[in-house]
Chain A
Amino acid sequence: MSLADAFADGPAFVPYLAAGDPDYESSIEYVEALARGGADVIELGLPFSEPIAEGPTIQEAVVRSLEGGMTPSRFFEFVEELDVDVPLVCMTYYNLIYQYGDEEGPRPFVEKSAEVGIEGFVVPDLPAEESGPLREACDEFGLDLVFIVAPTTKGERLERMREQVSGYVYVQARLGTTGARDDVSDQTDESLARLTDWDVPKAVGFGIKTGEHAERIVSAGADGIIVGSALVDIVAAGHENDEPTGAVADRLEAKARELKQGALRGAGEEARVE
């Protein structure tokens, strides 16, 4: 299933987890739990040592994962081992994409991603201006390149991104870094209003924490919600309290269900997920 297809059937729930957080085996179970909880697309973080777009929650996840031995090669094994049937997006920073494989440049990384079944990329430190080589490799192997539209993105920049984006557009709900928040930013409505006539699905992320947030954002016109830190928080708490993997996975599944149902309510649809 392609990324755009995942949005065709009502509002999409797009969770994020850092692959390998807090360790490889548990992380596999956590990602699979999200799929059971109703994920329509899963963003898998490949940890980079300098995650400049992330707030404290995901920074700490990155440290746990790297300390657990996660590398790009392990990441690809991880993806192959996953038993989920929703499309996967790799979220990482450009240096890891650029360094992978024998030749310099993004092509080997994209080729390998295609081989293990990844559908697309989100690269937070790669604005449209620098994305030419990655865009080309994505076109060659049929993968999507998702761009982030920030609250500050306007005018000409917006048009440039509209031409380049594929899969879905990641609408950054507020300025700053990733992290769960207790409220929904007013910037969200404004940002969505600027994209009404774009013909790719619009997924909103940054700060979403509850089913109510999800409902509110979908009712404002989003085609999907992206949730990272609120889920990573569950992984972190489980790790700190030495909880059994199964218990943490159950809580992730329940949280996923809450978020998915919130999204469905926002679209005025009956909850279809039990």
Chain B
Amino acid sequence: MSADSKFGDYGGQYVPEALMPAIEELTDAYERYVLDNEDGFMDEFRDRLRDFGGRPLPLQRADQLSARYDREVYLKREDLLHGGAHKLNNALGQVLLAKYMGKERIIAETGAGQHGTATAMAAAHLDMPCEIYMGKTDIARQRPNVFRMRTNGAEVTPVTAGRGTLKEAISETMRDWATTVEDTHYVIGSVVGPAPFPAMVRDFQAVISEEAREQIQEKAGRLPDAVLACAGGGSNTMGTFAHFVDDEDVGLYAVEAGGSSLSVDEESGVAPNSASLSTGDEGVLHGARTKILQDADGQIMESHSISAGLDYAGVGPELAHLVDTGRVEAVNVDDDAALEAFHRLSQDEGVIPALETAHAFGYLEKNYSELGDVVVVNVSGRGDKDLETVIEETMERDLSIAPDMSVFREVGGGAL
């Protein structure tokens, strides 16, 4: 096994034998097309990211937040990417790569539905048939995205195993892939899974930090003191950090979902959070050795987060490694803080963030005084998909910052 499939002790290729030849084929394609730009692959990828995706995306100074925290706060606006989240960078890259490899069918898993939406859009754009696996719990809480996938022509297959979230959807997509591997490419949605996925997805997402690093120097005249991004699997995190990793003075903060509590109920096998970097242990899940939420026997725990896209018991192996070596700081905020931050960013800046993204702003609110003078936060996606959840969760709480919800109460409504 070549050394570069590992990040320290993490990474590797823990998958059924039937998939190994496809993973070797993918590794070869990654090296040739992505790393060596064979046949102008990366040029075409960048052209399509520009014309179809709408890149480059602004780095916007957040005036109200800057005043509130008495420092310069900048927003990297991935919510403005076509489809409404950073996910398209990766989905477009992988669907295009599948095309270069001569594959005939695309499959993907999705949690929040955002990666599924991006994959369905990329597949429609590049004229490939596409099937998306999504947990039943997530289908229920992310209906707009389910409909967007269907609208773009993708099949959406519900996964009923377990709690019906991202973990189960990934397992089910791997099962499909094990059956159809000869003509199908699995577009994995984050920097997780067997090598070469974590490195390849990072490379497709690295466009975020490539732009941000240049933009911040133009706008602030210097590198930032801190860069924040929310971490589920960690794809927007790794994409936002990639070009800053060598800048040792830039603090990198991966903000995980603290859920309702950081403590774990071993009896019920449930972690009421998704903070695998902060509270997980080394183990093997979905093809890689990484930090995972597991019980003492090694059974994977059900995770929890108010945001479907962070609700996963694992995390990317490279991110786990960067945390172990001290280069990245793993932090977390709970559901309540994320929800408050959702409302604050919406009210103060006119930017409605995804609930995933809101975690990064929740961390900023609580810890800004330790983050230095210039702070960049990645707005990993927009919040339209989360409005039903936000209405429900807001009604259940007594938040000083929330809009007046009485209009919903009066009509006796729950979700829209």
Contacts and interface: CB of A to CB of B under 8 A. Distances in A.
Nearest to A71: B297
Interface string A110-154: 000000000000001111111000000000000000011111111
A72 interface: yes
B12 A130 contact: yes
B21 A130 contact: no
Interface string B286-301: 1100001010111110
Interface residues of A, number: 43
Nearest to A170: B17
B18 interface: yes
A99 B19 CA distance: 24
Interface in A201-254: none
B206 interface: no
Interface residues of B, number: 38
Interface in B1-54: 1, 12-22, 24
A127 B17 contact: yes
A125 B284 contact: yes
Interface stretch (B88-96, B170-178, B336-344, B376-384): B170-178
A24 interface: no
B298 to A, nearest CB: 3
A171 B361 CA distance: 52
A127 B13 contact: yes
B298 A147 contact: no
B126 interface: no
B300 A152 contact: no
A150 B17 contact: yes
Contacts of B62: none
Contacts of A51: 171
A53 B181 CA distance: 13
Contacts of B299: 48-49, 66, 96
B346 interface: no
A149 to B, nearest CB: 7
A99 B171 contact: no
Contacts of A10: none
Contacts of B171: 50-52
Contacts of B15: 52, 125, 127
Interface stretch (A30-38, A172-180, A263-271): A172-180
A175 B283 contact: no
Given A55-B175, A177-B179, A99 B14 contact: no
Main secondary structure on chain A at its contact with chain B?
loop
A46 to B, nearest CB: 10
B271 interface: no
B298 A98 contact: yes
Interface in B265-296: 269, 282-287, 292, 294, 296
Interface string A58-96: 010001001000011100000000000000000001111
Contacts of B286: 50, 52
B185 interface: no
Given A59-B161, A66-B299, A175 B182 contact: yes
A91 to B, nearest CB: 13
A152 B283 contact: no
A153 B299 CA distance: 29
A95 B17 contact: no
B17 A99 contact: no
A182 interface: no
B167 interface: yes
Contacts of B292: 95
Nearest to B282: A104
B1 A129 contact: yes
A95 B21 CA distance: 22
Given A59-B161, A130-B14, A152 B22 contact: yes
Interface of A: 48-55, 59, 63, 66, 71-73, 93-96, 98-100, 104, 124-130, 147-154, 157, 161, 172, 175-177
Which 10 A-B residue pairs are closest in the complex by CB-CB distance?
A99-B298, A176-B179, A150-B18, A95-B298, A95-B284, A49-B299, A96-B298, A129-B1, A152-B21, A150-B17
7 contacts: A53-B16, A95-B294, A95-B300, A100-B298, A129-B1, A130-B1, A177-B175
Interface of B: 1, 12-22, 24, 161-162, 167, 171, 174-175, 178-182, 269, 282-287, 292, 294, 296-300
Given A128-B17, A152-B181, 15 more contacts: A52-B171, A52-B178, A59-B161, A95-B294, A98-B283, A98-B298, A124-B17, A125-B15, A148-B18, A150-B18, A153-B18, A157-B21, A175-B178, A176-B18, A176-B179
